[in-house]
Amino acid sequence: MAGGGSGSGTVTGNGLNCTLTAGTPSGTCTATLDQGTAVSLTATATAGEFTGWSDVSCGTTSPCAFTMTAAKSLSATFEPPTLTVTTNADSGAGSLRAAVDQANTTPGADTITIAVGLSAITLTSGQLDITGALTIAGPAAGQTIDGNQNGRIFGVTAANANLTLENLTLTNARTTAGRIANDCSSSSGQGGAVCALGELTLTNSTVADNTAAATGGGVYGHDTVSLTSSILAGNTTGGSPDDCGMSSGSATASTSLIQATGACGVTEGQNGNLIGQDPLLAALADNGCATPSAGDGTCVLTHALTTGSPAIDAGSNPNHLTTDQRGRPRVQDAAVDMGAFESTQLGLTVTGGGKGEGTVTGNGLSCTLTAGTPSGLCTATLVEGSAVSATAAATTGSSFSGWTDATCQGTTNPCSFNLSAATTLTAAFGKSQYDLTVTGGGSGSGTV
């Protein structure tokens, strides 16, 4: 008997009692049988599922039955269990913490997938310890994990345990302890969001606004760090920019943005990387989504790319994702964006009302309105989620009457909002009115 896959199980029958762990056999895995012996072998998964025999005549049937006519070698494949996160709770059934704990007890490499439609997972009881090879994949629509300023998010505490993170946003994590060599437990301070003793791989992910007490405000790797179409930005150590740290060597990266210069030795311009540039991330916010949370109807919180972000159209899509973290189409313009958020270009237009004259400025607008007729720069193209601040100012002889559109109302000035759809602003200006008063003099009478 031989094994395949990364799960575990047993094969029994006809004197065999063979244990297969991540493809490695142990126990009684060989038997000598007479010609013509009827063989019946039963495959039983101990962690995960049995996915088939190498003998095409048996396929996935168990027991596998045949007659010995010659020497024969069979391989049984077992794969690890499919672990799915179905709640954004910190712990308990269906939680990310419970899935990680289960993966830690399962031999071989495991994969955790996160269901569509969960709002942000906020950790309230500290970091998630990882002791074996693990892939954690957010849905194609992505998933935010919030460290809640209560420790780091992921700590890979076993050497040679590789961690792969896909379609995730990791934010608001913080360590407070000092640096301890070769230690990613909660007692050490390196790696604000992630500390890994094994290989660390991030794909289509964003690590932003995390803090480490020691080094590697965003991520810290003791082995290797690999980034693909990901963003590390706004992470700090001791108040200074520090997105990535390593015990030695350099990270490998492609089409990724690291805001802090010199982080993990990644070079600007190589493999489409942007180093030392601000990705212009908006604050973590509800930027809409295709599938709101079934629990409270909210959307997963995201860091939007704002107008002018160098991450726009600068990424790659190695996993051929069709949607971004919000469930919106993954490619909106010329190319995919870096990170977990795909920006959308939206129009902002100004029109006028009233008989007066004035201007509307802000966000690239410089629009003159004369008796309701616009001239100048009255249209701007902005990234979805951009903070808009439009200021109306009347020219001499006119007064600002107010905004008369669905987005801005009354005379509030400036009008401020986050752009979530193509929007038209209407500013009304009236002619100024002045009192003309007649008084009289002398002792006669008359009219004016």
Least confident of 82-91, 302-311, 371-380: 302-311
Is pLDDT larger for residue 81 or for residue 245? 245
Alpha carbon separation from 298 to 117, 400, 422 (Å, rounded): 9, 37, 22
CA atoms within 13 A on the CB side of 225: 28
Using one digit for the tens of pLDDT, what is the confidence trace for 253-278?
999 999 988 888 888 878 888 999 88
Is pLDDT larger for residue 152 or for residue 408? 152
Least confident of 1-10, 100-109, 188-197: 1-10
Q: CA 218 to CA 210: how far, in whole Å?
A: 6
Alpha carbon separation from 86 to 96, 97, 115, 340, 417 (Å, rounded): 8, 11, 6, 20, 33
User: Which residue, 341, 256, 260, 257, is CA-closest to 303?
Assistant: 341
CA dihedral 268, 274, 277, 282 (to 10 degrees): -170
* 63 pLDDT more than 80: yes
Q: CA 189 to CA 214: how far, in whole Å?
A: 5
Write the DSSP assignment of 402-430 as a string of letters: EEESSS-EET-SSEEEE--S-EEEEEEEE
Please give the CATH topology (third level) of the domain spanning 345-431.
Answer: Immunoglobulin-like (2.60.40)
Residue 152 neighbours by CB distance under 10 Å: 31
Is pLDDT larger for residue 152 or for residue 250? 152
Q: CA 441 to CA 448: how far, in whole Å?
A: 12
CA atoms within 13 A on the CB side of 440: 7
Burial bucket for residue 291 (CB in 10 Å: 0-12, 13-18, 19+): middle
Question: What pLDDT, on a 0 to 100 scale, did the predictor assign at position 3?
Answer: 73
Q: What is the pTM of this model?
A: 0.68
Question: What pLDDT, on a 0 to 100 scale, did the predictor assign at position 325?
Answer: 67
* 434 pLDDT more than 90: no
CA atoms within 13 A on the CB side of 381: 5
Q: CA 76 to CA 140: how far, in whole Å?
A: 32
Residue 57 neighbours by CB distance under 10 Å: 9
DSSP state for residue 223 in the 8-state scheme: S
In 217-356, beta strands by DSSP E: 219-221, 225-228, 231-233, 236-237, 240-241, 244-246, 252-254, 257-258, 274-275, 345-353
Using one digit for the tens of pLDDT, what is the confidence trace for 112-133?
999 988 889 999 999 999 999 9
Domain map (residue ranges) of the chain: 2-79, 82-275, 345-431
Alpha carbon separation from 248 to 97, 213, 221, 222, 251 (Å, rounded): 30, 19, 9, 7, 9
Q: Do residues 170 and 147 make contact, with C-beta atoms less than 8 angstroms apart? A: yes
Question: What pLDDT, on a 0 to 100 scale, did the predictor assign at position 295?
Answer: 65
Q: CA 139 to CA 337: how far, in whole Å?
A: 17
Question: What pLDDT, on a 0 to 100 scale, did the predictor assign at position 310?
Answer: 86
- The pLDDT mean for the chain works out to 89
Q: CA 211 to CA 283: how far, in whole Å?
A: 16
Q: CA 380 to CA 362: how far, in whole Å?
A: 10
Question: What pLDDT, on a 0 to 100 scale, did the predictor assign at position 382?
Answer: 87
Average pLDDT over residues 397-410: 90
* 76 pLDDT more than 80: yes
**Percent of the chain at pLDDT above 90?**
56
Q: CA 20 to CA 268: how far, in whole Å?
A: 46
Question: What pLDDT, on a 0 to 100 scale, did the predictor assign at position 283?
Answer: 80
Average pLDDT over residues 359-377: 94
3-class state of residue 263 by DSSP: helix
* Angle at alpha carbon of residue 324, lines to 320 and 326, rounded to 5°: 150
Band the pLDDT of 56: cuts 50, 70, 90.
Answer: low
* 303 pLDDT more than 90: no
Is pLDDT larger for residue 136 or for residue 6? 136
Residue 348 neighbours by CB distance under 10 Å: 22
* 292 pLDDT more than 80: no
Question: What pLDDT, on a 0 to 100 scale, did the predictor assign at position 223?
Answer: 84
Q: CA 184 to CA 425: how far, in whole Å?
A: 52
Using one digit for the tens of pLDDT, what is the confidence trace for 166-175?
999 999 999 9
Band the pLDDT of 194: cuts 50, 70, 90.
Answer: very high
Average pLDDT over residues 178-199: 94
Residue 433 neighbours by CB distance under 10 Å: 7
Is pLDDT larger for residue 402 or for residue 108? 402
Q: Do residues 154 and 123 make contact, with C-beta atoms less than 8 angstroms apart? A: no
Q: CA 296 to CA 2: how far, in whole Å?
A: 49
Q: CA 315 to CA 337: how far, in whole Å?
A: 5
* 2 pLDDT more than 90: no
Across the strands, what pairs with 83?
Answer: 112
Alpha carbon separation from 311 to 210, 211, 230, 414 (Å, rounded): 19, 22, 9, 29
